[in-house]
Structure 1
Amino acid sequence: MGPEYSKIGKTTPSQSAMVVSINNFSDEILTHILSFLPFKDAFRTTVLSKRWRPLFHSLSVLRFDDTCVKNPDNWILFRQFMDLVMFSPYSHNLTLKSFHLNCRSMRWDSKSDCFTLNTWLQEAKRRRVEEIQLFFFLEDFMKLLSGCPVLENLKTEEVLKAELKKLIIGCSMLEDLKYGYDDSIVGVTAGGYSKPLPKLSKADIHLFDVPLRAVSGVQFLTLTGMGKSLPNEEINSYYKGYPVFENLIELQLFWFDHCIHDWVEVVTMLQNCPKLQILSISKCRNSTTTEDSKYPNHVPKCVSSHLTTCKIIDYEPVEADFQFATYMLQNARLLQVMEIHCPFTPKAMVSPKFIDDLIYCPRISPACKLSLE
């Protein structure tokens, strides 16, 4: 953001000819054309004529970026430009589809800035905005929310985390969620929410970010931080307590360093994913694998009737990993692809036997192709 928003040059002859040639278009067509221009170029059209001024302000998607704000003067110009667009009388009664604000400048610091941000958001809300996207550095985000008049009760990082989670699980129109605030859940308590987000189809979250019940209606799920557990069983059951994922067709599971890798837990989760077709498991070389792999007698429905692809990353030639891989090969009737990715430097006390035997393991699916990498 810079002086280009305050100093707009006069039109050239070629530009004037262009104005003459498209002035016969309806306002709807001209507004549609403006929507394809970079935002600051669309703004420049306001100097062409009186007719063009309201066209820009009728845009239903607003994108602001303060990346170029480098000094106090630029910051003043940026805020004036934001006010000019957000509070324009030409757009007062128009619905706003989307409001994007990319906040990378280090100028977001004072309470007055928090209040200004709040007024922009309130105006977007008044215009019945359908989507809001805000991009902040984490420290600036904490400062702004903590100083925002609407959220002035947020005094600690722990409370802020809790409020962010409440905000997420309260967004009934959310369709795609990617959330990874912090590994720590200090200060976050259980309780309150039990329904899935009705519109959500895709989620990429860390374990204990939001309750799994909130994302139980998705088709695509990426879950990071498997193997973690908390001493408080109430919180464990609130965030985990694997619900039934009725619509899930693709599942990716990731483990962290020094976590416990339990294959029985994976099979337990699969029992609650009746339509799963694609399963990807990324172990961690520094995780601990439990050896007690007594799977339930009942094979999960997804394994016997739907699973077509299974991938295991950082497979180790140990008995537990071998048992899980053979379990899938011997029970997945529709399995087409089984990918096994071994680490470059296997741990000590492993046996090549658990790789060689895997090659010759019987497969219930005649179409299954085993890939070892």
Structure 2
Amino acid sequence: MLKKISGSATGGDRNMVDVDVISTLPDELLYHILSFLPTKQALATGVLSKRWANLPRPLQVLHLDEDGSNPTRCRSFISLVDTLMLSHHNQHISITSLHLKYNGSSHLLSRFKLDQWMAAAKQRHIQDLTLSLPSFHLPPCILTSQTLVLLDLTSLFIQPSSSVHLPSLKTLRLQQITFDSPHDPLRLLSLCPVLEDFHAAHFYFRQHDHATYFTPLPNKNLIKANIFSTTHLPLPMSAFLNLEFLDITKGTFNGDAFPTFNNLIHLNIYETSFRGWDLAVHVLQKCPKLQILNMRTGQREEDWIFDWGYEGPNREDWEYPAYVPECVSSHLRIISLSDYGGWEDDLRFAAYILQKARVLQVMTIHCFDMCYCNSYHRRLVEILSSYPKISHACELSVVTKGNKENEASPWWAPDRPFMFIAASLYFLYLVQR
């Protein structure tokens, strides 16, 4: 970075002098700055000046990314990884972090020396490892690393054996992973004794064994999980009973089998197909210490108009439960409801929470984009604000993305033709029903 500064000259004139401010920084700070650059760019800074050429490169933090399809660039990328991982000059340097992502030319995959690269990483005491390598098998040596603390894998095939042991692993992230059997991810979890943070999204299996799944004992250290899938994952929730933070989609578990989480304080839940607010109450009942609930209901904007597409119970049939979950009466501080349509049962559920949550501080409601006209927004705020609140500290906020300063046309207005046609069809449906 060049900074122009003023300096005195003969005759009282003022000169502007260019000063390279970054190059004046101490080596330790420059080294820290370089560690945030992709490794290829960090190495290229050596051509800037003698000052940069003599600066040691951050070979403990390697960020290697190749998304192009140019064969020459891909060969250069593979050669760079070979040099950094396998060169005798680097073998004595420990690797704190390695990020390796390749999505380039597929015909060059045979040139990859992934087994050798990972063996070198393990030997150099790798701590954080991120791999995104479509169509590759994860080298087994990585699953016996004694130093690995974070493992982030995408688009790989994993085959955990009985020799797997990751005694230092605290964070495990698996996305679009292929296993042999539904037993494999459970086996992998059971062999990470100090795991604290687990992320899972979209598993695939070469075999589908319908036998009873092995259920690992709850890991007392595992306090945070993020489990996302539009289909059921073979991850029994009983393996996660000590969680304090959970982010989950409804498609990954059976609501009736939702276990009791005695320690859970923060829950983000996304319902893939909304069937009423009974599930929300059921979940609240199973989380006695819950303080924060973010719930995306999965209601669809088209159902807001074409309610014959809704397959659940009548939207006006939901009634207050006869009981109040412990978390609602004693612990719930923040609740956020997304995909909120303003149906009668939606309003009843909001009223139920406002009337029963004694320590509630914030209720935020995110409405459909369709509901963006100011008149609708104001009316919804009026209705919700009219409900009695047991917590005087509670702040109610109603958010609509498209809410504008100027009054927008209502969704049924003729100047919005699609919505006008939809509303007309809905009216005909009601007349004929």
List per-residue Cα deviations over 1:331-364 (Å, max 9, x = no partner): 1001122233444669xxxxxx999765433221
Displacement of 1:276 in angstroms is 2.2
The residue identity in structure 2 corresponding to 1:261 is R
Structure with max Cα Rg: 2
Counterpart position of 1:84: 83
Instruction: Rate the CA distance shift 1:45–1:354 in 2: closer, same or farther, 3 A.
Output: closer
The letter of the residue matching 1:279 is L
Query: Deviations along 1:30-88, whole A, 9 cap, x unmatched?
Result: 85565355422443578999xx89944x73211111234511x4333322221111023
1:194 aligns with 2:208: no
**Which residue, 283, 287, 290 being the options, matches 1:273?**
287
Letter of the aligned partner of 1:267 in structure 2? V
- Structure 1: gaps of 5 or more residues: 1-17, 230-235, 347-352
The code of the aligned residue for 1:314 comes to D
| Corresponding residue of 1:96 | 95
The TM-score, its normalising length taken from structure 1, stands at 0.67
Match status 1:331 vs 2:331: no
Distance in 2, matches of 1:273 and 1:123, equals: 45
Alignment of 1:12-91 (within 5 A): 32=32, 34-44=34-44, 55-56=56-57, 59-68=59-68, 70-71=70-71, 73-91=72-90
2: CA distance, partners of 1:117 / 1:282 = 40
Note closer, same or farther for the CA distance 1:228–1:320 as it changes in structure 2 (3 Å cut).
Answer: farther
2:389 to 335, 352, 363: 363
Quick one: which amino acid aligns to residue 122 of structure 1? A
Q: How many angstroms does 1:293 deviate by?
A: 5.1
The yes-or-no answer on 1:246 pairing with 2:263 is: yes
Task: Give the SS at the match of 1:307.
Answer: coil
Structure 1 357/29 Cα, relative in aligned 2: closer, same or farther at 3 Å? closer
Q: 1:160 to 1:362 in 2, by over 3 A?
A: same
* Distance across 1 between alignment mates of 2:367 and 2:65: 44
Residues 292, 335 of structure 2: 8 Å contact kept: yes
Unmatched 5+ stretches in structure 2:
1-21, 142-156, 161-176, 304-309, 372-378, 400-433
Q: Structure 1 residue aligned with 2:127, among 112, 126, 130?
A: 130
Q: For residues 261-300 of structure 1, what are the structure 2 equivalents within 5 Å?
A: 261-283=275-297, 284-285=299-300, 288-290=311-313, 291=317, 295=321, 297=323, 299-300=324-325
Contact 1:227/1:261 (8 A) holds in 2: no
Contact in 1 for aligned 2:179/2:205 (Cα 8 Å): no
Normalising by structure 2, report the TM-score: 0.59
Q: Does the 8 A contact of 1:289 with 1:320 survive in 2?
A: no
Q: CA deviation at 1:324?
A: 2.3
CA–CA distance in structure 2, aligned partners of residues 130 and 275 of structure 1: 34
Provide the rounded CA distance (Å) in 1 between the counterparts of 2:253 and 2:381. Answer: 28
Work out whether 1:305 is the aligned partner of 2:322: no
CA distance in 1: counterparts of 2:394 and 2:29, whole angstroms:
54
Are residue 144 (structure 1) and residue 136 (structure 2) matched? yes
The amino acid across from 1:212 in the alignment is: M
Question: How has the CA–CA distance of structure 1 residues 213 and 293 changed in structure 2, closer, same or farther, with 3 Å as cutoff?
Answer: farther
The alpha carbon displacement at 1:100 in A equals: 0.5
Q: Which has the higher strand share?
A: 2
CA–CA distance in structure 1, aligned partners of residues 222 and 158 of structure 2: 30
**CA deviation string 1:232-282 (max 9, x = no partner):** xxxx88xx542415042x3222122xx352423322222332332222222
**Match of 1:123, as an amino acid?**
A
Per mean C-alpha deviation after superposition, the further-off stretch among 40-49 and 271-280 is 40-49
- Alpha-carbon offset, residue 124 of structure 1: 1.2
Residues in 2 aligned to 1:100 and 1:227: alpha-carbon distance in whole angstroms = 29
Number of aligned residue pairs: give it: 322
Percent identity among equivalent residues? Answer: 27
* CA deviations over 1:179-213 (Å, ceiling 9, x no partner): 32159998365323232372553525337444334
Q: In the superposition, relative to structure 1, how do residues 81 and 157 fare at CA in structure 2: closer, same or farther (>3 Å)?
A: closer
Asked if the contact 2:186/2:215 (under 8 Å) is kept, the reply is no
Q: Is the 8 A contact 1:264 1:294 kept in 2?
A: no
The 1:53/1:133 distance shift into structure 2, 3 A limit, reads farther
Secondary structure at 1:144's aligned position in 2?
strand
Name the stretch that deviates more: 160-169 or 188-197: 160-169
SS of the aligned residue for 2:295 comes to strand
